Structure 1
Amino acid sequence: RRYLRSGITGVVDVGGPMWNLDVRARADTTAMAPTVVTAGPLISSVERPRLDEGDPPILQITTPEAARTEVRRQVEAGVDLVKIWYIVRDSPANYRPVVEATIDEAHDAGTRVAVHATELETARAAVEAGADILVHSVFNKPVDEAFVRLLNENDVQYVPTLMVQERYGQTFAQQLDLTVAEHRLGQKDVIGSLTDLRTLPDSLVPRGIRQQIDRAPAVPSDTTAMRNLKRLHEAGVSVAAGTDAGNIGTPHGPSLFREFQLMREAGLTPREILATATAGGATLMQREDLGEVAPGFQADLVVLNDNPLADIMHTTNIHRVVKEGRILRPNDLVPRTPEEVVLQAHNAYNTHNAEAFIGAFAEDLEVYEHPNTLVMTGRDTIAAQYGPMLRQATDLHSAFHYQTTIGNKVVAHETIHGLPGRDAPLSQVFLYRVTDGVIDRAWLVQDE
């Protein structure tokens, strides 16, 4: 539902546990889910045993014979794609026989192959071996003319996922900068977990990550990847918008809006970006009945309140979503429940996003000290008091110990660390009332 609420009517999952096929089957039986295309477990050059909980998302395959056997297993299970994780420390040539066997076996079965290959020479080797899709940008160096020509000559599709490395860096440095749409539409418990590193004991946080948190470095966007996207797009390479959602810091659904921002910064126009997310997405899904609003096509579309050609972020202002001809109202897909609204404010507070925090409150907000002493009125007052603090107090963090929802009210006990001018944490209990999707009343029930 969060995908549909974000205006996304089709999703390609490029690899994971075999239960992804069950997710696809469930999505196929409801109009309240996007159309799903999925790969099975990644055929990988490296192992990730900690991810194996009985249905591993990544399988280290070391021989061409084993690769062919695994491809046959996945094809028989009904995957739409086969995915290769092509990660090499020395030379792409060392793993290339496995890559070639995987692609050959998949193509014999009429199944396309997507490859994770983020270095130029690895990506080149993947395409030379017959890859159909590159599911990430080339990050390590500028692409050359021979590579551009190789992609065009082989009709390879390129999915840039510009944001995914940015969000790893931001999360590990605890400098997470989510868009307002991500705070509003993303899964609140997952977003809340992304700031836990601030409060975990040192024994549970790897030393390198703790050093990043202490240094709090700025995390720049990957300009090499952005320049490569611009060059490939201008050369006519087929591009599909994608985020690699589910990775750390990349929420399912609304993270696409951040990807749009980065594609715009890379130099694509709003019209070109929209084409990568519509026609480009249909090509990626291998669905000739998607990607256009035209007779004979499946009626999947998004109705916006503002013109996205004027500003690509107008795609966040969704009036209606149409899925297979069924008209869906945004708030029916992801209701603005009291818990959703309060957790939006809490998460925005912890990521120091003043706009997303303030947006959780009503214009006619009233804040009381229990039982009935009025201490603050209006969203503008919240903005004046909290806006500068959220932007400047870099160590500010709130930990919820519990929250309970009763009707349209939420009771939350929190401890706030890093308040300016205060050495000790502040413990307090608030009661919030939510009306029409915003907090319009709040009572400080107890503090310390």
Structure 2
Amino acid sequence: MAVSRHLLFAILLPMAAVAADFPPPLLIAHATVIDASGAAPLGDADVLLRDGRIVSVGKALVAPPDTQRIEARGRYLIPGLWDMHVHLLRKGRPEAYFPLLIANGVVGFRDMGGDLGFDEIARLRREIADGSRLGPRFIAPGPLLDGPYPTLPSITRVLRNADDAAQAVLDLQRAGADFLKVYNRLPRDAYFALAATARAHHITFAGHVPLAVSAREASQAGQKSIEHLFNVLFACSSQEDALMREKARALDSTDVDERRQLRAHYLQAVLDSYDPARAQALFALFACNATWQTPTLVQRRAYAFPEQAAPDAALLRYVPHDQRWRFDPGQDARLQGRDAARQTLERRYFDMDRGQIALMRKAGVRFLAGSDAPDGEAVPGFSLHDELAELVAAGLTPMEALQSATRNAGDYFGLGDTGVIAPGARADLVLLDADPRADIRNTRRIDAVILDGRLLQRAALQALLDQAAEAAAGP
């Protein structure tokens, strides 16, 4: 798979810029190595790291004299984790949330839209590269691409027609976008013009399935990933076209009661008109076209079960005060006025939507783990572990869930050295106290994180948590 010039530069920059300042070689001794390939783990294995790369993996390795050594007998070594759907490139968020990611073993993320300009994004990357800021690698799209009357105007570039869309692709690629994110109201002609121009200029696009386009058409047009299973269940309905129009009408309505009534009607109709044959054909198409799915079940569950969504006080200490309102379901206008019948319907829809994951898995569709943090009451870093547990509950095996946050990220980007444990791969690793194959929740049991070959043990990880809490507390 071709890798765009901007994307390759964004991922390689941190390693290239600090090549002369790597720590001494590191030997991780006697670990159980889970390389995320799906193969059986390698027990009592050594892993030698040097200059930000894995040098060798094997038994009884001989290391250079200046090598730092960590005894890992009884522990489990996995690739560093990637959260493939977050919103962290917004003002005030890197300071509070980057330390949380590293402390939770999250060494990279794909941002899905923020308000930082390309100059600010480049500055963050330089600071991570020169060591003045400890942080993960990241991929960013720039502004959302939406149609007139956009859902999130402050972080959106509005595209009214095909010409607007073609120009946006050229402008954003030139400015440094790693990929493009499409959103709800993008007009049909603009969407297909964007797809064609992106394909011609070798830049990927991902995001929501706009209301003017079906999930089937999005897959055929080359959309690389669909987020939140957005409109996938509609595409499994025998009444897809009519229900998509009704959903668009609800989005356009300024009357709160009308929006609620329309939503209740189209959700029920989607459930009632579900067609297993259409679903099977759609998922086969996704697999054939390599259309990835990022379900963001943590975010979806928060909407269906708001009473379970708010994090406890121990996690809220890591959320900046001016952002804590986002973690209070009572502040979400979409949740107001729900009666028992509506709540039951929302939960049934969530269960049906989530139920498609096992069917897609059976059809060969591939998944990315993304938590949508800090939206959906998801605290960055911690929320990725929640997402892995949700994916297992939805039908993935623990190994498949682990792959969705490791190896699959590398495959998605077309980078064979990311998300794996093998000679030549990046030295981004997480050492666990327990086996994640036995229980995916064991990804939380972190003993150490290795970032670019730098060992961060428990005291250093606790210091990162303290740094995040201090940043959240403000001046």
> How far did residue 4 of structure 1 move?
1.1
Specify which of 405, 430, 440 is matched with residue 302 of structure 1.
430
Specify which of 120, 140, 145 is matched with residue 280 of structure 2.
145
- CA distance in 2 between counterparts of 1:334 and 1:237 reads 38
Unaligned runs of 5+ in 2: 1-98, 237-277
Question: Percent of aligned positions with the same letter in both sequences?
Answer: 24
8 Å contact 2:181–2:207 — kept in the other structure? yes
- CA distance in 2 between counterparts of 1:308 and 1:260 reads 10
Specify which of 291, 296, 299 is matched with residue 161 of structure 1.
296
8 Å contact 1:82–1:113 — kept in the other structure? yes
* Alpha-carbon distance change, 12 to 196 in structure 1, aligned in 2, over 3 angstroms: closer
Specify which of 186, 197, 220 is matched with residue 105 of structure 1.
197
- CA distance in 2 between counterparts of 1:242 and 1:190 reads 24
- CA distance in 1 between counterparts of 2:407 and 2:280 reads 25
Q: Secondary structure at the match of 2:419?
A: coil
- CA distance in 1 between counterparts of 2:287 and 2:389 reads 26
Specify which of 405, 415, 420 is matched with residue 277 of structure 1.
405
Matches within 5 A, 1:9-48: 9-19=107-117, 21-22=121-122, 23-30=124-131, 32-48=134-150
* Alpha-carbon distance change, 316 to 225 in structure 1, aligned in 2, over 3 angstroms: same
> How far did residue 191 of structure 1 move?
7.1
> How far did residue 145 of structure 1 move?
2.0
What code does the residue aligned with 1:132 have? K
What code does the residue aligned with 1:225 have? D
8 Å contact 1:240–1:281 — kept in the other structure? yes
* Alpha-carbon distance change, 161 to 114 in structure 1, aligned in 2, over 3 angstroms: same
Q: Does 1:187 align with 2:187?
A: no
* Alpha-carbon distance change, 65 to 165 in structure 1, aligned in 2, over 3 angstroms: same
Specify which of 333, 354, 361 is matched with residue 233 of structure 1.
361
Q: Secondary structure at the match of 2:358?
A: helix
Name 1:122's counterpart in structure 2. 214
Residue deviations 1:156-188, cap 9 Å, x none? 222111221322455xx55534379x8288436
Q: Does 1:176 align with 2:309?
A: yes
Unaligned runs of 5+ in 1: 89-94, 344-402, 406-448
Q: Secondary structure at the match of 1:234?
A: helix
Q: Which has the higher contact order (CA 8 A, sep 6+)?
A: 2
- CA distance in 2 between counterparts of 1:254 and 1:194 reads 16
In terms of fraction of residues, the more helix-rich structure is 2
* Alpha-carbon distance change, 337 to 127 in structure 1, aligned in 2, over 3 angstroms: closer
Q: Secondary structure at the match of 1:140?
A: helix
- CA distance in 2 between counterparts of 1:12 and 1:195 reads 22
- CA distance in 2 between counterparts of 1:169 and 1:162 reads 10
8 Å contact 1:116–1:135 — kept in the other structure? yes
Matches within 5 A, 1:270-349: 270-333=398-461, 335=463, 337=466, 340=469
Name 2:394's counterpart in structure 1. 266
In terms of fraction of residues, the more strand-rich structure is 1
Aligned-CA RMSD value? 3.5
* Alpha-carbon distance change, 49 to 232 in structure 1, aligned in 2, over 3 angstroms: closer
- CA distance in 2 between counterparts of 1:217 and 1:45 reads 30
* Alpha-carbon distance change, 176 to 324 in structure 1, aligned in 2, over 3 angstroms: same
* Alpha-carbon distance change, 49 to 330 in structure 1, aligned in 2, over 3 angstroms: same
What code does the residue aligned with 2:353 have? A
Q: Which moved more, 1:324-333 or 1:24-33?
A: 24-33
- CA distance in 2 between counterparts of 1:229 and 1:119 reads 22
- CA distance in 1 between counterparts of 2:369 and 2:420 reads 15
Q: Secondary structure at the match of 2:233?
A: coil
- CA distance in 2 between counterparts of 1:297 and 1:338 reads 29
Q: TM-score, normalised by structure 2?
A: 0.60
What code does the residue aligned with 1:9 have? V
8 Å contact 2:304–2:343 — kept in the other structure? no
8 Å contact 1:44–1:60 — kept in the other structure? yes
